[in-house]
Chains A and B, each alone.
Chain A
Amino acid sequence: ETGVTQSPTHLIKTRGQQVTLRCSSQSGHNTVSWYQQALGQGPQFIFQYYREEENGRGNFPPRFSGLQFPNYSSELNVNALELDDSALYLCASSLGGVRTDTQYFGPGTRLTVL
């Protein structure tokens, strides 16, 4: 069983640009959640997808959007990048259907916005 993978590992963008981050969930996991971890902070929930539908959203603006695909891959898209978007972006997959399913995290993508 492969773990959760994310790409790219690191990314540098300039303010105003758009970025797409990718995540590959564990096989059979129907739920993917995305978190933003700023320096010195804990991960902060962005949104969750269950069977390709958005299933919950944190306090993030609409320029943060996502997609989940049937092949257990997913994307986080951020438009009009701001300096404060610089952070580690983590995806986590879980079986889905039960709130207390364990979430398995990927290693993250480090985004730097200049």
Chain B
Amino acid sequence: DQQVKQNSPSLSVQEGRISILNCDYTNSMFDYFLWYKKYPAEGPTFLISISSIKDKNEDGRFTVFLNKSAKHLSLHIVPSQPGDSAVYFCAASTMGSQGNLIFGKGTKLSVKP
């Protein structure tokens, strides 16, 4: 059973607009969440993270929001750029783990010029 779910396999957005990528989780023991970006033929690249003691974390154009009661997090990219086109993975880890990450299936973002 998937503990981290990204229900949208793909998302298409116009350049300059906001991209919102969503992620749901089922394990209430998750307390650390991350977003990774992956280009073809490259490994995933860390983008941004958030601890469960926060509900928002910003880094430049990227903001991650965490709603613990809904077990939902989202990544906002504003403004979206064509270079943001990639597969975005949501990942989570639990306090009792050694940091091994549980990933969602990913959402392919296409930003059109």
Contacts and interface: CB of A to CB of B under 8 A. Distances in A.
B4 A42 contact: yes
Contacts of B46: 102-104
Interface in B45-77: 45-46, 49, 51
A108 B43 CA distance: 6
Given A41-B105, A42-B4, A42-B89, A105 B100 contact: no
Interface residues of A, number: 29
A7 interface: no
A43 B32 contact: no
Interface in B24-45: 32, 36, 41-45
Contacts, number: 67
Contact of A100 (B32, B104, B106): B32
> Chain B, interface size: which category?
20 to 34
Interface of A: 4, 31, 33, 35, 40-45, 48, 50, 55-56, 58, 90, 92, 94, 98-108
B93 A43 contact: no
A105 B44 contact: yes
A99 B93 contact: yes
